[in-house]
Amino acid sequence: MTCTEFLAILDDVIDKSIAAETRAEIEVHLRKCGHCEVVLDTTRKTIEIFRCHEIYELPTEVSERLHVAIIEKCKKAK
Amino acid sequence: MPTIEPVAEQNEPHPDVALVERVRAGDVSAYDTLVRKYERQLFRIAQHITQNREDAEDVMQDAFLKAYEKLDQFQGNSKFYTWLVRIAVNESLMRLRKRRTGKLVSMDEDIQTEEGSVPRDFADWAPNPEQNYNQSELADILKKTIQGLPQGFRVVFVLRDVDGLSTEETAEALGLSVPAVKSRLLRARLQLRERLSRYFKRTTPAASEAKASAKGNGPLGNGVDA
């Protein structure tokens, strides 16, 4: 496997949608290629960081205000 | 070539189906439950598209109201949440269009860039690099990083990787093909990784350099495949 081939299936590797025989090829490639290993590790970490840190919090008071408005309008729309 | 693992069969109806049925029967409190369940995700999506807090609040409110009014059109072929996201995405784009006084706005804006589609930064990151920043610094870094992405990449990343929608659901919610979602997701992930590397890579380069050298550097850096 080449780096270009690895990069083409990077998403499948991250999403664990890889056939067993391809997985073995990937493991061989990663054992000899530090760059691809770093790209894989840090891309996984990128996803994890964005998943674990909410950057657009909806404040409780805003949520409550919107919530009341939505339900009131829904009742009127009936 | 890799194969896609089969999707587990869904024998159990999604819990939202029963709630939607109750709403259709006139139970507004069931809609209340759906709003509480999805308001944060919808707000997040609207923020990522409009990049404006007030617009995001309006979009969220309008999307929930529109979904309520159009509930008869919800066929149940897709998840309620996917259907809701599609409404919120359309509302967000309409809001942007208004702000830009009628200028065409679409999910395809600015996606022609090739920036970041090939990795350039191969420095390894520090362990738990986010811990080197306080909450507010980290939030600023993440905002700045994701806001720099083209809108069409940003929204695919958020739906797929933050919200956890499948590729197919993301395609449906955005009105895109599955290959388009896959292509945008890869480029979004790589561009975000590249941008975060500026903040998170090890301060002493020795470790990562040594690691790469020990293995023999691959081609992503020097143009020759390993």
Q: What is the pLDDT of residues B3-56, one digit of tens each?
A: 444 444 556 788 899 999 999 999 999 999 999 999 999 999 999 999 999 999
Of B3, B5, B192, the CB nearest to A46: B192
Say what percent of chain A tops pLDDT 70: 99
Q: What pLDDT shows up at residue B3?
A: 43
User: Could A47 and B189 be called an inter-chain contact, meaning their C-beta atoms sit closer than 8 Å?
Assistant: yes
pTM for this entry: 0.84
Q: Residue A10 and residue B38: Cα distance in Å, rounded?
A: 30
Q: What pLDDT shows up at residue A75?
A: 84
Q: Which of helix, strand or coil describes residue B53?
A: helix
Q: What pLDDT shows up at residue B120?
A: 85
Structure tokens at B95: 């809001």
Q: Which of helix, strand or coil describes residue B54?
A: helix
| Angle at A9 (CA atoms; ends A6, A14), nearest 5 degrees | 105
Which chain B residues in 104-123 lie under 8 Å from chain A, judged by CB atoms?
Answer: 118-119, 122-123
Q: If you average pLDDT over every residue of chain B, what do you get? A: 84
On whether any CB of chain A is under 8 Å from the CB of B71, the answer is: no
Q: Best residue in A1, A11, A37 to probe B by mutation, most B CBs within 10 Å?
A: A11
| Angle at A23 (CA atoms; ends A22, A26), nearest 5 degrees | 90
Q: Residue B146 and residue B148: Cα distance in Å, rounded?
A: 5
| Residue B125 phi, psi (nearest 5) | -90, 155
Question: Which residue's entry shows tokens 């089969």?
Answer: B6
Q: How confident is the model at residue B75 (pLDDT cuts 50, 70, 90)?
A: confident
Say what percent of chain B tops pLDDT 70: 78
ipTM: 0.92
User: Which chain B residue lies closest to A29 (C-alpha atoms)?
Assistant: B226
Q: Residue B159 and residue B182: Cα distance in Å, rounded?
A: 12
Beta-carbon count within 10 A of B192 CB: 26
Alpha carbon B114 to its chain's center: 19
Say yes or no to pLDDT of B171 above 50.
yes
Q: Residue A52 and residue A62: Cα distance in Å, rounded?
A: 22
Q: What pLDDT shows up at residue B115?
A: 59
Minimal C-alpha gap between B216 and chain A (Å): 6
Q: What pLDDT shows up at residue A76?
A: 84
Minimal C-alpha gap between A28 and chain B (Å): 11
On whether any CB of chain A is under 8 Å from the CB of B36, the answer is: yes
Question: Which residue's entry shows tokens 């700045």?
Answer: B144
Which chain A residues in 54-73 lie under 8 Å from chain B, judged by CB atoms?
Answer: 54-56, 58, 62-63, 66-67, 69-71, 73
Q: How confident is the model at residue B224 (pLDDT cuts 50, 70, 90)?
A: very low
Structure tokens at B61: 């409110």
Residues of chain B with C-beta less than 8 angstroms from the C-beta of A60: none
Of B2, B61, B212, the CB nearest to A34: B212
On whether any CB of chain A is under 8 Å from the CB of B133, the answer is: no
More confidently predicted of B217 and B94: B94
Q: What pLDDT shows up at residue B147?
A: 94
More confidently predicted of A52 and B102: A52
CB-based contact A37:B212 (threshold 8 Å): no
CB-based contact B155:B185 (threshold 8 Å): no
Beta-carbon count within 10 A of B86 CB: 17
Q: Residue B194 and residue B117: Cα distance in Å, rounded?
A: 9
Say yes or no to pLDDT of B222 above 60.
no
| Angle at B25 (CA atoms; ends B20, B27), nearest 5 degrees | 75
Q: Each residue of A2-39: pLDDT tens digit?
A: 999 999 999 999 998 899 889 999 999 999 999 999 99
Q: How confident is the model at residue B169 (pLDDT cuts 50, 70, 90)?
A: very high
**β-sheet bridge partners, residue B125:** B201
Q: What pLDDT shows up at residue B213?
A: 60
Q: Residue A31 and residue A27: Cα distance in Å, rounded?
A: 6
